[in-house]
Structure 1
């Protein structure tokens, strides 16, 4: 992902619109645009991915006209609070720390994290003792970063602005392993040329302290009505098959249930 392109999008360029009646409610979705297959920028500059498709489906269900903008991850909650957009749909884990700033919808998919190592790595244990002195990467401002910092105090922790940059350094051999969100890491290691270097390792990381209650849509605390409408719409797209159609476009399992 080119940083210059993301910077332009982060400045507020509208990337995707959803057709709706002229008098429809207008809402803006904020996402990162650098977290495939959940949100990413296509060659034509538009933002796509599972998060985006789910968001637009929910907008359609509540009768709103929605546009999507990209925002760098570190500023994504401040951007919501500053009213640059009305909701965040960006694979954000629901955690107690984030609940202090924003409210969340019900989870729209479950969450787990994972370790990722080169395919020829000798690392087979993921205890603090086994990883002492190892170079571990993660995206800054994420629960993955919080996890590796808390779990591996004697490792050399390196944090990056985007997940793409973590992946690049792992593929290039500049770090020994990384902590990542399981589904994007599964996608990267099995579907991309650079990700062929690497594999998921160890047991899934499901500690609620770090992965929370799942992945939700963040809204401002004063926007309880919007949150409840999104919750109702989520139930509806699960029931009418829309969710499954979007899910199957990206994943071989139902990410809502992880089965």
Structure 2
């Protein structure tokens, strides 16, 4: 599955801030994050960023001897922010999909969070267009779940309602404005179903699998031209997987292996 300042060296005479930067020591990476997706990225009661994705990104920055500067963004605005150079990478848990890869690049897989439908406990709903016809399903704007729901269900009588963040989806689900919500299963488990607000809800049906929309897992999003940064982040990822840092962070948040979660 997400804190200081500075500037990075230029690539091809200012084409990219990461040109030829073999040494990241003391440099700053501006990492975009949507902190509304616990336990991957969220704010703790003290208002500090926390979560699996935050800790993993900090560990990667530590391997590069760089500093993380966190930049909060709505999910639907995070890729535009990257392309506009307002941030250097998307450190939230972003699903690696073919459509997104048309515009940006990704590191190797960092985690895997399958998609599932959530509905009120005892509901007969399952994640099919036939079952959901005439129902309202909430999704987060800019998410792979939104893309899937609109393409596969929205043309078949299902009303897809998009929200700026996941907290808003759950708020409307609990008061009955939505019949179901579609999101990553890990976020749903730890961020809603295990909380008091989610006590009357449960997963409905099985995991959705469609590589066109849900890709091969989650990674850090980057501009395509920032090849060296991607390579260095991949090396750092391999290091924390090998030296036990990844496993330690995984254990802090989950009782299963999120790297290969299904």
Mapped to 2, the partners of 1:65 and 1:138 lie a distance apart of: 33
Q: Distance in 2 between matches of 1:120 and 1:213?
A: 31
Q: Distance in 2 between matches of 1:120 and 1:41?
A: 31
Alignment correspondent of 1:37: 39
After TM superposition, give the deviation of residue 23 of structure 1 in Å: 5.6
* C-alpha distance in 2 between matches for 1:217 and 1:189: 24
Q: Which residue of 2 is the match for residue 140 of structure 1?
A: 141
Whether contact under 8 Å (1:189, 1:199) holds in the other structure is: no
Structure 2 unaligned segments of length 5 or more: list them.
6-23
Which of residues 234, 238, 242 is equivalent to 1:235? Answer: 238
C-alpha RMSD of matched pairs (Å): 1.9
Q: In the alignment, what sits opposite 1:150?
A: 151
- TM-score, reference length from structure 2: 0.87
Shift of 1:43: 3.3
Question: 2:112 corresponds to which residue?
Answer: 110
Partner of 1:163: 166
User: SS at the partner of 1:45?
Assistant: coil
Aligned partners of 2:202 and 2:194: how far apart in 1? 12
Equivalent in the alignment of 2:19: none
Going from structure 1 to structure 2, the CA distance change for 1:110 and 1:238 (only over 3 Å counts) comes to same
Once the two structures are TM-superposed, the CA of residue 31 in structure 1 deviates from its matched residue by 0.7
Aligned length: 241
Q: Does residue 209 of structure 1 match 2:212? A: yes
Displaced runs of 4+ in structure 1, greater than 3 A? 15-18
Determine the C-alpha separation between the residues in 1 that align with 2:124 and 2:80. 41
Q: TM-score, normalised on structure 1? A: 0.88
Q: How does 1:62-211 map to 2 (within 5 A)?
A: 62-123=64-125, 125-152=126-153, 153=155, 154-211=157-214
Using a 3 Å threshold, how does the CA distance of structure 1 residues 130 and 58 change in structure 2: closer, same or farther? Answer: same
- SS of the residue corresponding to residue 174 of structure 1 reads coil
Structure 1 residue 188: Cα displacement: 2.8
CA contact (8 A) 2:97 2:213 kept: yes
Residue 189 of structure 1 contacts residue 197 of structure 1 at CA under 8 Å; is this kept in 2?
no
Deviation at 1:197, TM superposition (A): 2.0
2-structure distance, mates of 1:199, 1:226: 40
Q: CA deviation at 1:17?
A: 4.8
CA distance in 2, matches of 1:65, 1:132: 48
